[in-house]
Chains A and B, each alone.
Chain A
């Protein structure tokens, strides 16, 4: 049922990429539990603006869990305590009266802080640019039903393609590895006939770009899949490894 709670926020504040950051505490009182976490931050920001202070900067956009823009490392978990949900889908009913809630940006060498809780995830775009596509020009496609694809393969490809590119997997990983993110895209295309043609080239290009951009190695701890807001499975990483080995053997 709806009720109001009061709690303390410990929020990471950092004026810019090169500035030294630190935690700052804010007390929040009488917040209705049906307020979303980001709406709670909106309320805090309104209060800060009223006092003439600069509001806390954080990334957010669709607020329905699909754009992948929101981030936040809340009480030691990317996207907070809820499973299978992004920060924007997190509601205050998950917290209790008197709690202290710690909010940090994604921590990863590949995701430098821009300001406060906002980080630069451009590295993810660069990995996709290295090979996350089917090389095909608009206009020349055959009829959509010309190649039947089994429902199982299509559904599995869809599950992989569900990745929203938020970066929670990297934030969750003690090595700062982007393997879950990369493997989701590699898997989607590996499972579909359209993607098979370039499969070997794709996996090599994407993995090598990932390494180049400073992401860590995968040691199969599984933290990424456990924290993924879209429940992207660890088996994608197994498929990527298989695809990668096959591609290397062919060389």
Chain B
């Protein structure tokens, strides 16, 4: 661990400029917009922008930049922009509309988000997010997004974790789908108008830097297997998070961190990699052949109650398959979230709910054959509201659950003493979202000039933990309302730079390196498949860098990750050739970067000797098992700087946090 210590003690640190505008928190964004540089319409036509990714952030940014008049080149890894993984977001999107008259405001959304993030987010960014949240809803309605409505014709809302107001807008359990299709529609309009060029089944392999500025990318055409060069005045990365480092996660199969890692290797800082969100309500792991985990929306916690048995013998009987959840009577159930957190109950933030589930299971109260599951029960709400109302709210989730597990949560199982017991769902926490990401300043620009990062791909808004229904909000805020402004401040002095050519030495070199990497992977000619190594990586990450982390565990992880890299470098086997489509080769390319990512997460987790949000170090907890922060020593954003090789530890640079509007305190969801 010598090299890590060295990293920590580096003295000659580059100064981090987060470019937070002057003025009181509520006026910063207004001030920024009033004084920023703009590009006039005639000049916009001369400027090209690459947007990599077509999720909520990527699609909204690409369409909006094109509407403004820029020429946009937009890339996606799937067969269509509509497939990006934002599509799978279920529950909803937050906004401070206060349509329910329950006391919501921009300030309250800002406050809840900062608090939910365990006081590790940048205040100014979060305030701006809360500020533009209302515009997002207006924008989506204008696009024809069919949000849920009340009988009077106005928009409906529901509650989500970490909030005491109902501010979440939703479209059944498919909010992400509807928002993404809205952005995809706007994108399609711009493609039709010729302002966006859409490249499907393309994967970015590298970013091209010319004279210190991002000027293009090398992308692989996944169908032909050939590398192609693309140049632009600015490059925007919107490629999502790195959850698949853990192999099993709720991310889609193709989600990867390679574009982000390519930027990191070129000098973009990677911020707060240790902040990984583990979502409390996923369907538990069922076997070693499983390829991914399925999320059950957090909205279920509005009406579902989470419990485990009070008695250890009941838990044992459940684990042995001798009892079913519905066999356990009401008085023997421990609704542990309601017991521990009376004020928020089942709606505590995700990190708190996940850890509470782990705590119960670690003590032996788990309810399935692996002992790694808790119940989510709808008996009470079905009795209160009727099955029809519950099905109207969650029907598609009930069906999804039944298709996967063969258990129908809406089915009456038994009646004891007049109390009706329905089949409960079984849930367990799983990797879901990554708060960390490429470091960006207030303008969403990375530490490389002309390179921007938006959506889950950046680190900016969620601190150490993201609240439910805030990912959609951030992705669309960045893409529709923030980046299209801030990127102009950068582009304003680029208007005299002509369209780039791709036959420069920088492009030659970058493409050659990409090609060499592919040759190298093909020539290892070992024995193991990509997935088998990836699974092993996932096990290490979940075991040592998952929900509960320790110093020893993290040091073990770093050692084991070195072994994994060696195994990958010497024993990987890829069938076929580089000609045409080679799915295994593409997966190997991504796995290489997942290993680098795994190390980054472990380095950061090891450095952060405190518990906060999604990062829980077992050495740092209160007697009640709550996370114990250390504001005196860790009130900063960890920015990791690449040192030229994957074999050398990265250098830590700190961006101190400054809170002006909010008093930093211990999170309390009890009263």
Contact = CB atoms under 8 A, between A and B. Distances in A.
Interface of A: 16, 32, 34-36, 38-39, 42-43, 46, 48-50, 52-55, 57, 59-69, 82, 84-85, 89, 91, 93, 114-115, 118, 120-122, 124-125, 128-130, 132-145, 147-151, 154-155, 157-158, 161-162, 164-165, 188-189, 192, 194-195
Given A114-B581, A194-B141, A66 B88 contact: yes
B99 A128 contact: no
Contacts of B85: 61-62, 67
Nearest to B140: A144
A61 B529 contact: no
B125 interface: no
Contact of A145 (B63, B154, B185, B294): B154
11 contacts: A35-B287, A49-B584, A61-B253, A69-B83, A115-B580, A122-B80, A125-B82, A125-B200, A128-B185, A128-B188, A162-B177
B142 A133 contact: no
A134 B144 contact: yes
B584 A63 contact: no
Given A150-B153, A154-B147, A34 B253 contact: no
Contacts, number: 210
B287 A138 contact: no
B51 to A, nearest CB: 14
B568 to A, nearest CB: 15
Interface of B: 60, 63-64, 67, 78-85, 87-88, 97, 99, 135, 137-144, 146-155, 171-172, 174, 176-178, 181, 184-186, 188-189, 191-192, 198, 200, 223, 252-254, 286-287, 289-292, 294-295, 399-400, 403-404, 406, 480-481, 484, 529, 531-532, 573, 575-576, 580-581, 583-584
Contacts of A135: 189
B78 A165 contact: no
A64 B430 CA distance: 15
Majority secondary structure of chain A interface residues (helix, strand, loop or mixed): loop
A154 to B, nearest CB: 4
Contacts of A93: 406
A158 B527 CA distance: 49
Contact of B143 (A16, A114, A194): A194
A120 B178 CA distance: 23
A129 B174 contact: no
B214 to A, nearest CB: 24
B174 A128 contact: no
B146 A136 contact: no
Contacts of B78: 61, 67, 69
Contacts of B254: 61
Contacts of B79: 59, 69, 120-122
Contacts of B63: 138
A49 B529 contact: yes
Given A50-B529, A133-B185, A64 B400 contact: yes
Given A128-B184, A128-B188, A144-B97, A68 B289 contact: no
